[in-house]
Amino acid sequence: MLNLSSYTKSYSLVFFDQVIVSACNFILTIIILRFLGIEIFGLFSFFWLIYSFSLTLQISFLISPLMTNASKINKSKINYYYGSSFIHQLIFSLTTFVALLLFLNIFSNFNNSYSIKSNILIFSTAVAIIQIQQFIRRILLSKGKLLNVTINDFLCYFILIALIFYFNFFNELTLHKIFIFYSISFGFGILIALPIIQSFNYKLINILDDFKQNFVISKWLALSSLFSWFSGSFWVLNVGLVLGPVVLGAIRASQSIVMIINLFFQVLENIIPKETSKIYIEKGKKEMLRYLFNFNKIFFLLIFLFITFIIIFSKQILTILYGIDLIQYNYLVIYFAISIPIIALRYLPEYGMRTMGNTAPIFIAYLFSGSIAIIFSKIIIENYQLQGFIFGMYLSPILIACVTNLGFLKIYKKYNK
Protein backbone atom coordinates (compact mmCIF):
# COMPACT_ATOMS: atom_id res chain seq x y z
CA MET A 1 0.00 0.00 0.00
CA LEU A 2 1.27 3.50 -0.91
CA ASN A 3 2.42 5.55 2.07
CA LEU A 4 0.77 8.85 1.18
CA SER A 5 2.47 10.90 3.88
CA SER A 6 5.89 9.58 2.82
CA TYR A 7 5.13 10.34 -0.84
CA THR A 8 3.95 13.87 0.00
CA LYS A 9 7.06 14.50 2.09
CA SER A 10 9.31 13.26 -0.71
CA TYR A 11 7.59 15.41 -3.33
CA SER A 12 7.76 18.45 -1.02
CA LEU A 13 11.52 18.01 -0.58
CA VAL A 14 12.08 17.73 -4.34
CA PHE A 15 9.98 20.84 -4.92
CA PHE A 16 11.74 22.74 -2.10
CA ASP A 17 15.13 21.83 -3.55
CA GLN A 18 14.01 23.09 -6.97
CA VAL A 19 12.90 26.36 -5.35
CA ILE A 20 16.33 26.74 -3.69
CA VAL A 21 18.21 26.15 -6.96
CA SER A 22 15.95 28.41 -9.06
CA ALA A 23 15.83 31.20 -6.46
CA CYS A 24 19.59 31.17 -5.91
CA ASN A 25 20.33 31.29 -9.64
CA PHE A 26 17.93 34.22 -9.95
CA ILE A 27 19.63 35.98 -7.01
CA LEU A 28 23.02 35.39 -8.64
CA THR A 29 21.78 37.07 -11.81
CA ILE A 30 20.74 40.14 -9.80
CA ILE A 31 23.87 40.48 -7.65
CA ILE A 32 26.38 39.85 -10.44
CA LEU A 33 24.73 42.47 -12.63
CA ARG A 34 24.40 44.98 -9.77
CA PHE A 35 27.91 44.42 -8.39
CA LEU A 36 29.88 44.18 -11.67
CA GLY A 37 27.71 46.01 -14.21
CA ILE A 38 25.92 44.96 -17.36
CA GLU A 39 29.00 44.45 -19.56
CA ILE A 40 30.69 42.04 -17.12
CA PHE A 41 27.35 40.35 -16.60
CA GLY A 42 27.21 39.95 -20.39
CA LEU A 43 30.61 38.21 -20.28
CA PHE A 44 29.34 35.99 -17.47
CA SER A 45 26.22 35.20 -19.56
CA PHE A 46 28.41 34.21 -22.52
CA PHE A 47 30.32 31.77 -20.35
CA TRP A 48 27.09 30.45 -18.86
CA LEU A 49 25.62 29.74 -22.29
CA ILE A 50 28.69 27.57 -22.93
CA TYR A 51 28.13 25.86 -19.57
CA SER A 52 24.44 25.23 -20.40
CA PHE A 53 25.57 23.48 -23.59
CA SER A 54 27.88 21.20 -21.59
CA LEU A 55 25.05 20.56 -19.11
CA THR A 56 22.76 19.53 -21.99
CA LEU A 57 25.35 16.95 -23.06
CA GLN A 58 25.87 15.76 -19.49
CA ILE A 59 22.15 15.23 -18.91
CA SER A 60 21.78 13.37 -22.20
CA PHE A 61 24.83 11.12 -21.98
CA LEU A 62 25.05 10.51 -18.23
CA ILE A 63 22.25 11.77 -15.98
CA SER A 64 19.14 10.67 -17.91
CA PRO A 65 20.46 7.12 -18.46
CA LEU A 66 21.46 6.99 -14.78
CA MET A 67 18.00 8.02 -13.56
CA THR A 68 16.36 5.55 -15.97
CA ASN A 69 18.59 2.49 -15.47
CA ALA A 70 19.38 2.69 -11.75
CA SER A 71 15.83 1.74 -10.75
CA LYS A 72 16.06 -1.45 -12.86
CA ILE A 73 19.28 -2.80 -11.34
CA ASN A 74 19.41 -5.36 -8.54
CA LYS A 75 20.35 -3.88 -5.16
CA SER A 76 23.31 -6.23 -4.85
CA LYS A 77 24.80 -4.77 -8.04
CA ILE A 78 23.68 -1.13 -7.80
CA ASN A 79 26.93 0.18 -6.27
CA TYR A 80 28.86 -1.29 -9.20
CA TYR A 81 26.53 0.59 -11.55
CA TYR A 82 27.03 3.82 -9.57
CA GLY A 83 30.79 3.22 -9.64
CA SER A 84 30.77 2.71 -13.41
CA SER A 85 28.66 5.83 -13.91
CA PHE A 86 31.01 7.84 -11.67
CA ILE A 87 34.01 6.79 -13.80
CA HIS A 88 32.05 7.79 -16.92
CA GLN A 89 31.38 11.18 -15.29
CA LEU A 90 35.05 11.74 -14.42
CA ILE A 91 36.05 10.96 -18.01
CA PHE A 92 33.29 13.24 -19.32
CA SER A 93 34.34 16.10 -17.02
CA LEU A 94 38.00 15.75 -18.01
CA THR A 95 37.00 15.74 -21.69
CA THR A 96 34.82 18.81 -21.15
CA PHE A 97 37.67 20.60 -19.36
CA VAL A 98 40.12 19.99 -22.22
CA ALA A 99 37.52 20.81 -24.92
CA LEU A 100 36.64 24.13 -23.23
CA LEU A 101 40.29 25.10 -22.93
CA LEU A 102 40.86 24.45 -26.62
CA PHE A 103 37.61 25.98 -27.91
CA LEU A 104 37.68 29.13 -25.78
CA ASN A 105 41.36 29.82 -26.50
CA ILE A 106 40.71 29.53 -30.24
CA PHE A 107 37.57 31.68 -29.89
CA SER A 108 39.46 34.40 -27.97
CA ASN A 109 41.95 34.73 -30.83
CA PHE A 110 39.20 35.47 -33.37
CA ASN A 111 36.77 37.61 -31.38
CA ASN A 112 37.64 41.03 -29.98
CA SER A 113 34.25 41.78 -28.37
CA TYR A 114 34.79 39.36 -25.49
CA SER A 115 37.88 39.62 -23.28
CA ILE A 116 37.81 36.10 -21.92
CA LYS A 117 41.44 34.94 -22.02
CA SER A 118 42.13 35.44 -18.31
CA ASN A 119 39.03 33.51 -17.28
CA ILE A 120 39.28 30.47 -19.54
CA LEU A 121 41.22 28.16 -17.18
CA ILE A 122 39.21 28.90 -14.04
CA PHE A 123 35.89 28.72 -15.94
CA SER A 124 36.80 25.34 -17.43
CA THR A 125 37.77 24.12 -13.95
CA ALA A 126 34.49 25.41 -12.48
CA VAL A 127 32.44 23.63 -15.16
CA ALA A 128 34.17 20.30 -14.48
CA ILE A 129 33.58 20.65 -10.72
CA ILE A 130 29.93 21.70 -11.12
CA GLN A 131 29.33 18.73 -13.43
CA ILE A 132 30.63 16.30 -10.80
CA GLN A 133 28.47 17.90 -8.07
CA GLN A 134 25.44 17.75 -10.37
CA PHE A 135 26.13 14.08 -11.01
CA ILE A 136 26.43 13.32 -7.28
CA ARG A 137 23.14 15.09 -6.49
CA ARG A 138 21.45 12.81 -9.08
CA ILE A 139 23.01 9.80 -7.35
CA LEU A 140 21.51 11.05 -4.08
CA LEU A 141 18.13 11.48 -5.80
CA SER A 142 18.41 7.98 -7.24
CA LYS A 143 19.11 6.60 -3.76
CA GLY A 144 16.12 8.48 -2.35
CA LYS A 145 18.30 10.68 -0.12
CA LEU A 146 16.20 13.77 -0.83
CA LEU A 147 17.13 15.65 2.33
CA ASN A 148 20.82 15.20 1.52
CA VAL A 149 20.21 16.68 -1.94
CA THR A 150 18.47 19.72 -0.47
CA ILE A 151 21.20 20.30 2.14
CA ASN A 152 23.95 19.85 -0.44
CA ASP A 153 22.40 22.36 -2.86
CA PHE A 154 21.65 24.85 -0.09
CA LEU A 155 25.24 24.78 1.23
CA CYS A 156 26.74 25.10 -2.27
CA TYR A 157 24.70 28.19 -3.10
CA PHE A 158 24.97 29.68 0.40
CA ILE A 159 28.78 29.54 0.27
CA LEU A 160 28.82 30.91 -3.30
CA ILE A 161 26.54 33.88 -2.54
CA ALA A 162 28.26 34.59 0.79
CA LEU A 163 31.70 34.73 -0.90
CA ILE A 164 30.40 37.09 -3.59
CA PHE A 165 28.89 39.45 -0.99
CA TYR A 166 32.05 39.32 1.16
CA PHE A 167 34.47 40.21 -1.64
CA ASN A 168 32.13 42.84 -3.06
CA PHE A 169 31.99 44.50 0.38
CA PHE A 170 35.78 44.99 0.17
CA ASN A 171 35.60 46.06 -3.51
CA GLU A 172 37.61 43.01 -4.58
CA LEU A 173 34.97 41.21 -6.64
CA THR A 174 35.84 40.27 -10.22
CA LEU A 175 34.45 37.83 -12.77
CA HIS A 176 37.59 35.70 -12.29
CA LYS A 177 36.90 35.44 -8.55
CA ILE A 178 33.25 34.49 -9.18
CA PHE A 179 34.38 31.43 -11.14
CA ILE A 180 36.82 30.61 -8.32
CA PHE A 181 33.91 30.81 -5.88
CA TYR A 182 31.87 28.44 -8.07
CA SER A 183 34.77 25.97 -7.92
CA ILE A 184 35.07 26.30 -4.12
CA SER A 185 31.35 26.10 -3.30
CA PHE A 186 30.47 23.20 -5.61
CA GLY A 187 33.76 21.50 -4.70
CA PHE A 188 32.50 21.62 -1.11
CA GLY A 189 29.30 19.92 -2.32
CA ILE A 190 31.46 17.07 -3.66
CA LEU A 191 33.50 16.92 -0.44
CA ILE A 192 30.51 16.46 1.88
CA ALA A 193 29.23 13.69 -0.40
CA LEU A 194 32.45 11.65 -0.13
CA PRO A 195 30.76 8.91 1.98
CA ILE A 196 28.45 8.27 -0.99
CA ILE A 197 31.37 8.16 -3.42
CA GLN A 198 33.27 5.78 -1.12
CA SER A 199 30.33 3.36 -1.22
CA PHE A 200 30.75 2.80 -4.98
CA ASN A 201 32.29 -0.43 -6.31
CA TYR A 202 34.31 -0.81 -9.49
CA LYS A 203 34.95 -3.52 -12.11
CA LEU A 204 36.40 -2.89 -15.53
CA ILE A 205 33.89 -5.18 -17.23
CA ASN A 206 31.02 -3.33 -15.53
CA ILE A 207 32.42 0.05 -16.59
CA LEU A 208 32.42 -1.07 -20.23
CA ASP A 209 29.08 -2.92 -20.14
CA ASP A 210 27.28 -0.12 -18.30
CA PHE A 211 28.60 2.38 -20.83
CA LYS A 212 27.05 0.32 -23.64
CA GLN A 213 23.79 0.05 -21.70
CA ASN A 214 23.65 3.80 -21.07
CA PHE A 215 24.54 4.61 -24.66
CA VAL A 216 21.42 2.83 -25.92
CA ILE A 217 19.37 5.52 -24.16
CA SER A 218 21.74 8.48 -24.46
CA LYS A 219 22.39 8.45 -28.21
CA TRP A 220 18.82 9.51 -29.08
CA LEU A 221 18.39 11.72 -26.04
CA ALA A 222 21.57 13.58 -27.00
CA LEU A 223 20.27 14.37 -30.48
CA SER A 224 16.93 15.65 -29.17
CA SER A 225 18.57 17.66 -26.37
CA LEU A 226 21.18 19.20 -28.65
CA PHE A 227 18.63 20.37 -31.19
CA SER A 228 16.48 21.66 -28.31
CA TRP A 229 19.45 23.71 -27.05
CA PHE A 230 20.23 25.06 -30.51
CA SER A 231 16.59 26.00 -31.17
CA GLY A 232 16.64 28.49 -28.28
CA SER A 233 20.10 29.19 -26.89
CA PHE A 234 21.86 29.46 -30.26
CA TRP A 235 19.86 32.59 -31.05
CA VAL A 236 20.95 34.10 -27.72
CA LEU A 237 24.57 33.09 -28.25
CA ASN A 238 24.69 34.60 -31.73
CA VAL A 239 23.04 37.88 -30.69
CA GLY A 240 25.74 38.17 -28.05
CA LEU A 241 28.51 37.47 -30.55
CA VAL A 242 27.13 39.92 -33.12
CA LEU A 243 25.94 42.77 -30.86
CA GLY A 244 28.34 42.42 -27.93
CA PRO A 245 28.26 41.63 -24.18
CA VAL A 246 26.15 44.65 -23.13
CA VAL A 247 23.21 43.56 -25.30
CA LEU A 248 23.71 39.94 -24.23
CA GLY A 249 23.67 41.03 -20.59
CA ALA A 250 20.43 42.98 -21.09
CA ILE A 251 18.81 40.02 -22.86
CA ARG A 252 19.80 37.53 -20.15
CA ALA A 253 18.67 39.89 -17.38
CA SER A 254 15.29 40.41 -19.06
CA GLN A 255 14.95 36.71 -19.80
CA SER A 256 15.64 35.73 -16.19
CA ILE A 257 12.64 37.78 -15.00
CA VAL A 258 10.22 36.05 -17.33
CA MET A 259 11.76 32.62 -16.83
CA ILE A 260 10.62 32.63 -13.20
CA ILE A 261 7.63 30.82 -14.69
CA ASN A 262 9.95 27.86 -15.33
CA LEU A 263 9.39 26.92 -11.69
CA PHE A 264 5.69 26.55 -12.50
CA PHE A 265 6.57 24.45 -15.54
CA GLN A 266 8.85 22.32 -13.37
CA VAL A 267 5.99 21.65 -10.97
CA LEU A 268 3.84 20.56 -13.94
CA GLU A 269 6.66 18.29 -15.10
CA ASN A 270 6.52 16.54 -11.73
CA ILE A 271 2.71 16.27 -11.63
CA ILE A 272 1.07 16.16 -15.08
CA PRO A 273 3.02 13.26 -16.71
CA LYS A 274 2.25 11.02 -13.70
CA GLU A 275 -1.43 12.00 -13.68
CA THR A 276 -1.63 11.63 -17.45
CA SER A 277 -0.13 8.13 -17.28
CA LYS A 278 -2.50 7.16 -14.47
CA ILE A 279 -5.60 8.23 -16.46
CA TYR A 280 -4.20 6.60 -19.61
CA ILE A 281 -3.76 3.24 -17.80
CA GLU A 282 -7.04 3.33 -15.88
CA LYS A 283 -9.43 5.01 -18.34
CA GLY A 284 -7.81 4.91 -21.77
CA LYS A 285 -6.63 7.37 -24.40
CA LYS A 286 -9.85 9.32 -24.86
CA GLU A 287 -10.09 10.21 -21.18
CA MET A 288 -6.40 11.12 -21.09
CA LEU A 289 -6.84 13.46 -24.04
CA ARG A 290 -9.96 15.00 -22.47
CA TYR A 291 -8.03 15.56 -19.24
CA LEU A 292 -5.21 17.34 -21.10
CA PHE A 293 -7.60 19.58 -23.03
CA ASN A 294 -9.48 20.54 -19.84
CA PHE A 295 -6.27 21.23 -17.96
CA ASN A 296 -5.14 23.44 -20.85
CA LYS A 297 -7.81 26.01 -19.93
CA ILE A 298 -6.52 26.47 -16.37
CA PHE A 299 -2.92 26.28 -17.58
CA PHE A 300 -3.27 29.19 -19.99
CA LEU A 301 -5.35 31.28 -17.61
CA LEU A 302 -2.49 31.20 -15.09
CA ILE A 303 0.01 32.05 -17.81
CA PHE A 304 -2.14 34.96 -18.97
CA LEU A 305 -2.30 36.39 -15.43
CA PHE A 306 1.49 36.03 -15.06
CA ILE A 307 2.43 37.74 -18.32
CA THR A 308 -0.13 40.51 -17.80
CA PHE A 309 1.55 41.36 -14.48
CA ILE A 310 5.02 41.27 -16.06
CA ILE A 311 4.00 43.50 -18.99
CA ILE A 312 2.24 46.13 -16.83
CA PHE A 313 5.06 46.40 -14.29
CA SER A 314 8.09 45.67 -16.52
CA LYS A 315 9.82 48.99 -15.83
CA GLN A 316 9.25 48.81 -12.09
CA ILE A 317 10.51 45.21 -11.95
CA LEU A 318 13.67 46.07 -13.90
CA THR A 319 14.36 49.07 -11.65
CA ILE A 320 13.87 47.15 -8.40
CA LEU A 321 15.96 44.16 -9.47
CA TYR A 322 18.71 45.64 -11.63
CA GLY A 323 18.63 49.40 -11.24
CA ILE A 324 17.49 52.32 -13.37
CA ASP A 325 20.09 51.73 -16.13
CA LEU A 326 18.14 48.79 -17.54
CA ILE A 327 14.77 50.55 -17.90
CA GLN A 328 15.56 51.19 -21.57
CA TYR A 329 15.42 47.42 -22.13
CA ASN A 330 11.92 46.93 -20.70
CA TYR A 331 10.64 46.15 -24.21
CA LEU A 332 12.75 42.96 -24.08
CA VAL A 333 10.93 41.88 -20.92
CA ILE A 334 7.61 42.46 -22.72
CA TYR A 335 8.72 40.51 -25.80
CA PHE A 336 9.89 37.59 -23.65
CA ALA A 337 6.65 37.66 -21.65
CA ILE A 338 4.50 37.53 -24.81
CA SER A 339 6.50 34.52 -26.05
CA ILE A 340 5.61 32.45 -22.95
CA PRO A 341 2.15 31.29 -24.19
CA ILE A 342 3.75 30.23 -27.48
CA ILE A 343 6.40 28.23 -25.60
CA ALA A 344 3.71 26.75 -23.34
CA LEU A 345 1.70 25.46 -26.33
CA ARG A 346 4.07 22.52 -26.65
CA TYR A 347 3.93 21.21 -23.07
CA LEU A 348 0.61 19.40 -22.85
CA PRO A 349 0.83 17.83 -26.33
CA GLU A 350 4.29 16.58 -25.37
CA TYR A 351 2.95 15.06 -22.15
CA GLY A 352 0.26 13.23 -24.12
CA MET A 353 2.62 11.92 -26.80
CA ARG A 354 5.23 10.83 -24.24
CA THR A 355 2.57 8.92 -22.30
CA MET A 356 1.51 7.03 -25.45
CA GLY A 357 5.11 6.43 -26.49
CA ASN A 358 4.73 8.44 -29.70
CA THR A 359 7.55 10.99 -29.44
CA ALA A 360 8.58 11.23 -33.09
CA PRO A 361 6.81 14.62 -33.59
CA ILE A 362 8.74 16.02 -30.58
CA PHE A 363 12.08 15.04 -32.10
CA ILE A 364 11.07 16.36 -35.53
CA ALA A 365 10.01 19.68 -33.97
CA TYR A 366 13.36 20.23 -32.28
CA LEU A 367 15.29 18.96 -35.30
CA PHE A 368 13.49 21.43 -37.58
CA SER A 369 13.73 24.40 -35.21
CA GLY A 370 17.32 23.68 -34.18
CA SER A 371 18.51 23.26 -37.77
CA ILE A 372 17.02 26.64 -38.75
CA ALA A 373 18.75 28.27 -35.77
CA ILE A 374 22.11 26.73 -36.70
CA ILE A 375 21.87 27.71 -40.37
CA PHE A 376 20.14 31.09 -40.28
CA SER A 377 20.38 32.71 -36.81
CA LYS A 378 23.71 34.50 -37.33
CA ILE A 379 22.78 35.72 -40.82
CA ILE A 380 19.40 37.05 -39.64
CA ILE A 381 20.91 38.82 -36.61
CA GLU A 382 23.75 40.35 -38.65
CA ASN A 383 21.23 41.79 -41.10
CA TYR A 384 18.42 42.80 -38.76
CA GLN A 385 20.27 43.23 -35.44
CA LEU A 386 18.08 43.03 -32.32
CA GLN A 387 14.90 42.80 -34.43
CA GLY A 388 16.38 39.70 -36.05
CA PHE A 389 16.95 38.13 -32.63
CA ILE A 390 13.36 38.91 -31.56
CA PHE A 391 12.14 37.30 -34.80
CA GLY A 392 14.14 34.16 -34.00
CA MET A 393 12.95 34.18 -30.41
CA TYR A 394 9.39 33.80 -31.71
CA LEU A 395 10.18 31.62 -34.71
CA SER A 396 11.66 28.73 -32.72
CA PRO A 397 8.75 28.18 -30.28
CA ILE A 398 6.19 28.71 -33.07
CA LEU A 399 7.80 25.96 -35.15
CA ILE A 400 8.00 23.62 -32.16
CA ALA A 401 4.41 24.35 -31.12
CA CYS A 402 3.10 23.79 -34.66
CA VAL A 403 4.80 20.42 -35.15
CA THR A 404 3.99 19.05 -31.66
CA ASN A 405 0.37 20.18 -31.78
CA LEU A 406 -0.16 18.79 -35.29
CA GLY A 407 1.26 15.47 -34.12
CA PHE A 408 -0.95 15.53 -31.04
CA LEU A 409 -4.12 16.44 -33.02
CA LYS A 410 -3.43 13.61 -35.46
CA ILE A 411 -3.37 11.18 -32.52
CA TYR A 412 -6.47 12.81 -30.99
CA LYS A 413 -8.50 12.46 -34.23
CA LYS A 414 -7.42 8.85 -34.55
CA TYR A 415 -8.84 7.94 -31.14
CA ASN A 416 -11.86 10.24 -31.20
CA LYS A 417 -13.57 9.04 -34.36
Longest CA–CA span in the chain (Å) reads: 70
pLDDT single digits (tens) 160-192: 999 999 999 999 999 999 999 999 999 999 999
pLDDT single digits (tens) 226-272: 888 999 899 999 999 999 999 999 999 999 999 888 777 776 665 67
DSSP state of 112: S
**Are 61 and 85 spatial neighbours (Cβ–Cβ below 8 Å)?**
no
| Sign of the CA dihedral with 327 first, then 328, 329, and 332 last | positive
pLDDT single digits (tens) 395-407: 999 999 999 888 8
- The single-letter code of the amino acid at 281 is I
**Beta carbons within 8 Å of 154's beta carbon, 6+ residues apart:** 20
If one counts every other C-beta atom within 10 angstroms of the C-beta of residue 15, the result is 15
Nearest to residue 222, comparing CAs of 381, 45, 60?
60
Mean pLDDT over the full length of the chain: 87
**Beta carbons within 8 Å of 30's beta carbon, 6+ residues apart:** 321, 322
Backbone angles phi, psi at 345, to 5 degrees: -60, -20
Nearest to residue 326, comparing CAs of 337, 338, 316?
316
CA atoms of 190 and 213, how far apart (whole Å): 26
Nearest to residue 65, comparing CAs of 225, 230, 233?
225
Q: Crossing angle, helix 175-191 and helix 146-169, to 10 degrees?
A: 150
DSSP state of 192: T
| pLDDT per residue rounded down to tens, the chain (417 residues) | 444 444 455 557 777 888 899 899 999 999 999 999 999 999 999 999 999 999 989 988 888 888 777 777 888 788 899 999 999 999 999 999 999 999 999 999 888 788 899 999 999 999 999 999 999 998 998 888 888 999 999 999 999 999 999 999 999 999 999 999 999 999 999 999 999 999 998 888 888 888 887 777 677 667 778 888 999 899 999 999 999 999 999 999 999 999 888 777 776 665 676 677 677 777 777 777 777 777 778 888 888 999 999 999 999 999 999 988 889 999 999 999 999 999 888 877 877 776 666 677 888 888 999 999 999 999 999 999 999 999 999 999 999 999 988 888 887 676 665
DSSP state of 113: S
Rounded to two decimals, the pTM is: 0.88
